Structure 1
Amino acid sequence: MSETAKISLRDVHKSFGPKKVLQGINLDVAPGESVAIIGGSGTGKSVTLKCVLGLLTPDQGSIKVNGTEMVGASPATREDMLSHAGMLFQGAALFDSLSVWQNVAFGLIEGRGMKPQQARDIAIARLADVGLGPDIANMSPASLSGGMQKRVGLARAIATEPDILFFDEPTTGIDPIMGDVINDLIVKCTRELGACAMTITHDMASARKIADRVAMLYQGKIIWNGPVSEIDTADNPYLQQFISGDIEGPLDLDLKHL
């Protein structure tokens, strides 16, 4: 798959001092495919995502996006890659100093030099895509609920019509019902764009709904990788313990605080 993959990771390692977080990650995301990386806290999900985005530099290995090597890439190459990507951050990460529509239009105005009025019209349309009306366009993000902030964050992620979407724990911090709304919107927006998606999550309900394929990260490596339809029948005790939420099992859990 690596020849046609939108995102391809090969033997990616990352350590912080003596702590080896990633110990040889291999993963492909095909065009139009949605892949969820699952795993417990501290297993390296966020580090993997940050390496793909260029926020961290791997100690070794290759990360290609659209066939272009990103490890050691020039700032211009990385900026070009990011201009074709959208990101929904864990806490929505909206700019408090900007109105809702300005947040959604940020990439259009700052990244593409679009005139504000045209960008505002697109922002209103993207807000409608995530079920929010034009009445909130001039509101401050701080005045919105957590679920509404997530939807604004999703509208911002899709505003530039990217062909790659990244989702960082998209349902964290919101109630299960709003989480399901966000999951449905992610599926809808990803399909409408025809984009590929990489999601990191520990929420199995979210992974089941938004992913075509699931990769489980444990002790720095992908220990299971397969279609979401096969996770319940997979013969992998680590995966089964994780999806069932059992304390007993082969996973080396950090339970010292209990």
Structure 2
Amino acid sequence: MSTPAKISLRNVHKAFGAKKVLQGVDLDVAAGSSVAIIGGSGTGKSVTLKCILGLLTPDQGSIVIDGLDMTTASRSDHEAMLAKTGMLFQGAALFDSLSVWENVAFGLIEGKGMKPKLARDLAIARLADVGLDADVANLSPASLSGGMQKRVGLARAIATEPEILFFDEPTTGIDPIMGDVINDLIVKCTRELGASAVTITHDMASARKIADRVAMLYQGKIIWDGPVSEIDQTDNPYLQQFVAGDIEGPLDLDLKHL
């Protein structure tokens, strides 16, 4: 008997006026696995993630998390789902008005009602997990480099020990070396938590390192879904072109996003 997926999308559609972004997305994320959704700019990766998180409501289809369809779930059920998730945003999205440790501890204090002293101790421990010393705890986010801000964002994402982690273009805006550091930290933290993970990215180096499986989104649908180990053996011409970074091929490039 197969184990139910932690996250399961079936026939998910989303349009904005006449623009059909998602046109029947099917995707499963097994418990404890890491899935990267890849695709070019404007293909609907972020819309898919926002639908999973409940920031957008699909026009059609189901999004089942731990057996509950979130498209019809109550507000309390949706809040309970969010309470067991962590998110690393594309630009880290740290609160400028809070110190580094207060950013990391935000979910502990505001979401779990933890006392600030204990939350600060846990925040410093999470900063250590991502390779940052305690002396950054009282700094403001604005004083940190882009790579350090990403690390703080990751520390915040894992602070509540979530069951599900979401990563939105985790290597965007940082140099390749720091990008590789972030990828390694994501793998380390996800495995230590035993969390299920969903990453959206156009960075194939990141997808190869972070994910167990890759799903390619194109023209509103998943057109290839398989283990990372099979990417280079695929006969799918769309995936072949995307992985190779070729201009010539079957992909209908949206030049407005280039």
TM bin (shorter chain): over 0.9
> What's the CA shift string for 1:159-202, capped at 9, x where partnerless?
00001000000000000000000000000000000001000000
Deviation at 1:254, TM superposition (A): 2.2
8 Å CA contact 1:10, 1:61 repeated in 2 = yes
* Matches of 1:164 and 1:211, distance apart in 2: 14
In the other structure, the counterpart of 2:32 is 32
Tell me the equivalent position of 1:62. 62
The equivalent of 2:42 in structure 1 is: 42
Distance 1:206 1:237, change over 3 A: same
In the other structure, the counterpart of 2:147 is 147
Aligned equivalents of 1:104 and 1:257: distance in 2?
33
The 8 Å contact of residues 2 and 8 in structure 1, kept in 2 or not, is answered as no
Which residue type is aligned with residue 140 of structure 2? S
Find the residue that maps to 2:42 and give its secondary structure: coil
Q: Does 1:137 align with 2:137?
A: yes
Compute the displacement of 1:72 (Å): 2.5
Partner of 2:252: 252
| C-alpha contact (below 8 Å) 1:2/1:28 kept by paired residues | no
Measure, in 1, the Cα distance between the counterparts of 2:2 and 2:247: 36
5+ residue gaps, structure 1: none
Large movers: runs of 4+ above 2 Å: 254-258
- Partner secondary structure for residue 76 of structure 1: helix
Q: Deviations over 1:96-115 (max 9, x none)?
A: 00000000000000000000
> What's the secondary structure of 1:179's corresponding residue?
helix
- 1:3–1:62 Cα change, 3 Å: farther
Give the superposed CA RMSD.
1.3
Distance in 2, Cα, partners of 1:72 & 1:41: 29
Does 2:228 align with 1:224? no
Corresponding residue for residue 239 of structure 1: 239
Q: State the Cα distance separating 1:44 from its structure 2 match.
A: 0.3
Structure 1 residue 3, shift from structure 2 partner: 5.6
2:198 is aligned with 1:198:
yes
Partner of 2:161: 161
- Local SS of the residue matching 1:231: helix
Q: Aligned equivalents of 1:257 and 1:45: distance in 2?
A: 14
1:255 Cα deviation from its structure 2 partner: 3.1
1:256 & 1:208 partners in 2: Cα distance?
27
Q: Which residue pairs with 1:117 in the alignment?
A: 117
* CA distance in 2 between partners of 1:15 and 1:175 (Å): 34
Distance 2:64 2:92 in 1: 26
Structure 2 contact 41–257 (Cα < 8 Å) conserved: no
Counterpart-to-counterpart distance in 2, 1:68 and 1:10: 13
**Alpha-carbon separation, structure 1, partners of 2:165 and 2:158:** 8
Q: What corresponds to 2:180 in structure 1?
A: 180
Give, in whole Å, the separation in 2 of the partners of 1:231 and 1:161. 31
| Alignment match, 1:19 | 19
**Distance of 2:130 and 2:157 partners within structure 1:** 11
The alpha carbon displacement at 1:257 in A equals: 8.3
Question: CA–CA distance in 2 between the matches of 1:2 and 1:46?
Answer: 29
- The alpha-carbon distance between structure 1 residues 17 and 130, as it changes in their structure 2 partners (threshold 3 A), is same
Render the CA deviation track for 1:186-242: whole Å, top value 9, x for unaligned: 000000000010000000000000000000000000000000000011010000000
Instruction: Identify if the C-alpha distance between structure 1 residues 93 and 256 changes in structure 2 by more than 3 Å, giving closer, same or farther.
Output: closer
Contact (CA 8 Å) 2:42, 2:257: kept in 1 or not? no
1:104 aligned partner? 104
Letter in 2 for 1:143: S
Does the CA-based 8 Å contact 2:100-2:140 persist in structure 1? yes
The question of whether the paired residues in 2 share the 8 Å contact of 1:34 and 1:210 is answered with yes
